[in-house]
């Protein structure tokens, strides 16, 4: 190995005189040479999972079951151009996997995409949902009654 390569490797290992970007690259290179434990892999995988809310938004005789980290903003977006109006029925803390679970559970009521007919077990579940949603951005104006008005 020539002297330049030896000096460069020593510099990378010491990180002396490296820019922030070079330090980041050096850290990645060092990490890649070490085999990760199963626990480290699971922790990294969990860190990539987006935690937010699975929401149920009613419009006409349909309900949208979706996932968002900002439900209030999502509801606002769905109201734009919607002639039937939309209202939030419930929001449950969860992940995209939680959303997929509900989609599978109510697949027989699917109309299109994430929109489902309010019927059968889905209708029963929506009626038992609390009448308010406790989100950080939405604390006032909670209805006093529970469930969805069908």
Domain ranges of the chain: 3-34, 52-128
Angle at alpha carbon of residue 108, lines to 59 and 145, rounded to 5°: 40
When pLDDT is cut at 50, 70 and 90, the band that residue 57 belongs to is: very high
**In contact, 96 and 69? CB cutoff 8 Å:** no
Contacts 24+ apart (CB under 8 A), 32-37: none
The residue that leads in pLDDT, 70 or 132, is 70
The residue that leads in pLDDT, 8 or 92, is 92
The residue that leads in pLDDT, 86 or 26, is 86
CA distance linking residue 50 with residue 67, whole number of Å: 10
Q: How many CB atoms lie within 10 A of CB 66?
A: 21
When pLDDT is cut at 50, 70 and 90, the band that residue 80 belongs to is: confident
**In contact, 115 and 64? CB cutoff 8 Å:** yes
When pLDDT is cut at 50, 70 and 90, the band that residue 14 belongs to is: low
Predicted TM-score (pTM) of this structure: 0.59
When pLDDT is cut at 50, 70 and 90, the band that residue 42 belongs to is: confident
**In contact, 122 and 62? CB cutoff 8 Å:** no
Distance of CA 102 to the CA centre of its chain: 14
Question: Which residues on adjacent β-strands are paired with residue 66?
Answer: 55
Residue 122's alpha-carbon distances to 14, 56, 57, 61, in angstroms, are: 60, 11, 13, 12
In order, the DSSP letters of 59-113 are: ETTEEEEEEES-HHHHHHHHHTT-TT--EEEEEEEE-HHHHHHHHHHTGGGEEET
């Amino acid at each position: 190995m020539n002297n330049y390569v030896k000096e460069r490797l020593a510099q990378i290992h010491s990180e002396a005189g490296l820019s922030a970007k070079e330090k980041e690259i050096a850290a990645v290179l060092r990490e890649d040479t070490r085999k990760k434990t199963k626990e480290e892999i699971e922790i990294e995988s969990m860190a990539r999972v987006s935690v937010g809310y699975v929401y149920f938004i009613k419009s006409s005789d349909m309900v949208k079951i979706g996932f968002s980290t900002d439900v209030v903003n999502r509801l606002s977006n769905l109201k734009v151009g919607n002639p039937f109006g939309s209202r939030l029925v419930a929001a449950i803390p969860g992940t995209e996997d939680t959303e997929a679970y509900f989609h599978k559970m109510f697949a027989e009521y699917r109309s299109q995409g994430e929109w489902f007919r309010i019927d059968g077990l889905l209708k029963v579940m929506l009626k038992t949902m609390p009448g308010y949603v406790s989100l950080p951005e939405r604390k006032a104006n909670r209805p006093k009654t529970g469930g969805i008005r069908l």
